[in-house]
A and B are shown apart, each in its own frame.
Chain A
Amino acid sequence: MVRVGYGLLRIDSNAPEVKVRIDEQPKGVWKAGTEPLDVQSPSGPHKLTVLSDGRKTFEGMIDVPRGQVLPVHVKMIPRYPRGAAWTQAIIGAAVIGTAAYFGNESNKIYDQLDEDRKSGRLESGDSRATKGRWFAVGADAGFAVGGVLGILATYNFIKDPLPPSSVRSDKPVEFDDPRKSQPVALRAPLGPQQQRLRLARPEPALPPPSISVGKVGVDAQGVMIGGTF
């Protein structure tokens, strides 16, 4: 007997909804609470891409078995939030923009003062000098604050403590194997103690079968066997 040249991927995930691509070709969408998504593909290694909103995209190679069904459980990890980084970046950019304006104004005032000095028209205590000095202080302070915010934003853009999305495959099953697994939503495996507890739990007692012999009703005759299961 020869196996067919294709297999099935039976895909489910922990995410509410995932889009599945095999070798960059869309193959379907799986939603939580529905049957696993069966994707037929020629046997052999293929690139599997699983996407979900707000979660890290999974990309990896998977080996499709010949004439078998490969249950694949995709664990989609949420993307690390970047709100703080964006906030820092925006505020930093605004502060640096303001600082650049102050710096430009300061430079303009300085140029005016320098030109007036060269033409002999600059007076001691020129009020523009005080204004320009404060602009320069403001610009430098703005650049410092903006720089710190920029560095923080960069760090927070780079920082990602969460693992990447991953897949776990079960043992392939035959196409017509009645014992083929029906993948369900991922559940943490039971620990040894839980398994022991589960084994030790007594089966609910069945009610004993009831047997009546002889006359049941007022006028009944014969034998009746009754039971409850």
Chain B
Amino acid sequence: MRTALCLTLLGALSLGCSWSRYDDVTENAPIVLLNRPKQLNDGFGSSLATATPPDGPMLLVGGAPLSSGGAVFSLGSGDSPSTEARDTGHCLDSPDACYFSSSPVALQGAKGPQETRNLCFVDGAGVASKGKGVVVRCEDDNVEYALPLPEAAASLLDFSIDNAQPTLFQFGADHGKNPLLLATAEEEKGVWFYPSLSQKFVEIPHPSNNKGLWAPGKRVLAVARVGDEGRLLAVGEPTAGSVRLFYAADGLTPSYVGCLGGTSGFGRSLATGPVVRGDDDDELVIADDHLVYVFDGARLASLPPATDSACSLGGLPEATLVTSFGCGSTKNISGCDGSDFGAALAVGDLDGDGDGEVVVGAPLMTVRHTERAGALIIYDVEPPATGSKRQIYDFLDIAFLSSADQDDQLGRSIALPNLGDRQLLVAGAPGGGKAALFYCPSFLPAELAGGRCK
């Protein structure tokens, strides 16, 4: 009996655990969560915008639209980002009216009040430097200014400020230097843009309305780069299930090239970026209620000016629709139906191979039995098979938070900051007030994997 007792005791003691090993396994973790500034207490991670000035990539993390603001983080060039915000002045703690947008954008090169700025963020609409208009805040010296608005939009903003009734402005911009800024106000009937390095707006009339007025409602904007100066402007109207396209070869005078659509929710989110290998032009990625479509930006831009206002995917030239894909489940994620697959989209070169991957947010996805935790699904678009002109897509990876909480809703927003040799995946989980940096996708080549991926 004594021997048995001693053996039992020794066996039990051998199960003793070291708690310091948890420090080892969590140190330099592959996913970094940014610290939410205390002022930004509502919906942190609702929106993201990024650009890469010479001193490293900057990331704007936005809070709940209209009721909150945003904060800028410096991500550095390696895998040691600053998790504390460096600038919390984006529609936060401002004595003036500032209505933060649900789609703030970064301008890597913008025409400031006196000079050109390296990096500015378009926050929303309101008052800045005693002017009313689109509020722009630059990171160089935290200078703020307001871009002028078309008359109807200016009237709407005046009414909003006078009556303390916030109104939502939406934006889109391309990802290159000196981008074009596309803008609209949901309650107003106009869409306009600011050409590269310009504070002067150019209105875009609705192509099928005699007065050129757009129907009030939600609009989603995106700008694709085609050629050196050309810009493809996309205006999504998810309620109507359509995306109207305008092409400005010189970046100044757009012409209507057609309308894509025909499926439920088509245009509810848009993204641009180079997807197809060997082509520097951006592709246009569009989500509807079930699928994500990749369109060749150059082919869309080469369409002749349209006279028909009908919206359809039929009649497109061959290979204009590159590919399309839907949601999928794995052992870790489930619940594609109702996952809001396509709520956010992004295109970027995550593995440094020269072509872009498509990242699709599914914020209501169930992750490891945690409902509405949200996930990101990453696809790669491969060259077409022999004898086919249709590109094929390849499912690459799934990204989610290892300790996801219910209703985190990771994937409501996505951004892909440029680290130099590759782009970094960043996603917002506004339900949990989180913004996460994913440094180690499974398909990352070993030579690009830093210390966090060991």
Contact = CB atoms under 8 A, between A and B. Distances in A.
Q: Do A and B come from one complex?
A: yes
Interface of A: 89, 96, 99-100, 102-104, 106-107, 110, 113-114, 116-117, 119-130, 132-137, 139-140, 143, 146-147, 150-151, 153-154, 157-158
B388 interface: no
Contacts of B271: none
B36 to A, nearest CB: 12
Given A102-B17, A125-B33, A140-B16, 19 more contacts: A96-B8, A103-B17, A107-B17, A110-B25, A113-B25, A117-B25, A117-B26, A117-B30, A120-B444, A122-B26, A123-B30, A125-B26, A126-B29, A128-B403, A134-B19, A136-B17, A136-B19, A139-B17, A154-B5
Interface stretch (B168-176, B297-305, B435-443): B435-443
State the majority secondary structure of interface residues on A.
helix
A120 B25 contact: no
B33 A120 contact: no
Nearest to A123: B31
B385 interface: no
Interface of B: 1-2, 5-6, 8-9, 12-13, 15-19, 21-22, 25-26, 29-33, 399-403, 436, 438-442, 444, 453
17 contacts: A100-B12, A103-B17, A113-B25, A116-B402, A121-B402, A123-B33, A123-B403, A124-B32, A129-B22, A129-B25, A139-B16, A140-B16, A143-B13, A146-B12, A150-B8, A157-B1, A158-B2
A122 B402 contact: yes
Contacts of B25: 110, 113-114, 117, 122, 129
A147 B438 contact: no
Contacts of A158: 2
Contacts of B22: 110, 113, 129-130, 132-133, 136
A157 B442 CA distance: 58
A120 B13 contact: no
A139 B15 contact: yes
Given A124-B32, A158-B2, A113 B26 contact: yes
Contacts of B439: 120
Contact of B12 (A99, A129, A132): A99
A123 B19 contact: no
Contact of B33 (A103, A124, A139): A124
A126 B15 contact: no
Contact of A157 (B2, B21, B440, B441): B2
Given A113-B25, A117-B25, A129-B25, A135 B440 contact: no
A220 B435 CA distance: 139
Contacts of B21: 110, 136
A177 B439 CA distance: 107
A151 B51 CA distance: 65
Contacts of A136: 17-19, 21-22
Nearest to A113: B25
Given A106-B17, A123-B31, A150 B399 contact: no
A138 to B, nearest CB: 9
A120 B440 contact: yes
A136 B17 CA distance: 5
Contacts of A107: 17
Contact of A122 (B16, B30, B442): B30
B452 to A, nearest CB: 8
B15 A123 contact: no
A104 B12 CA distance: 11
A63 B133 CA distance: 121
A133 B21 CA distance: 8
A96 B12 contact: yes
A129 B26 contact: yes
Nearest to A126: B403
A123 B32 contact: yes
A84 to B, nearest CB: 16
Contacts of A140: 16-17, 19
A126 B19 contact: no
A98 B29 CA distance: 31
A102 B403 CA distance: 20
Nearest to B12: A96
B403 A127 contact: yes
B17 A120 contact: no
A113 B24 CA distance: 11
B9 A123 contact: no
Nearest to B397: A120
B13 A133 contact: no
A107 to B, nearest CB: 7
Chain A CB count within 10 A is highest, among B15, B399, B401, for B15
Contacts of B442: 119-120
B29 A143 contact: no
B222 to A, nearest CB: 29
Contacts of B30: 117, 120-123
Contacts of A106: 17, 19
Contact of B9 (A102, A128, A150): A150
Nearest to A99: B12
Contact of B29 (A110, A124, A133): A124
Nearest to A111: B25
Nearest to A116: B402
B5 A143 contact: no
A147 B13 contact: yes
A119 B30 CA distance: 9
4 closest A-B pairs (Cβ-Cβ)?
A120-B440, A123-B31, A136-B17, A136-B19
A129 B23 CA distance: 8
A128 B436 CA distance: 17
Contacts of B12: 96, 99-100, 143, 146-147
A115 to B, nearest CB: 9
A89 B6 CA distance: 12
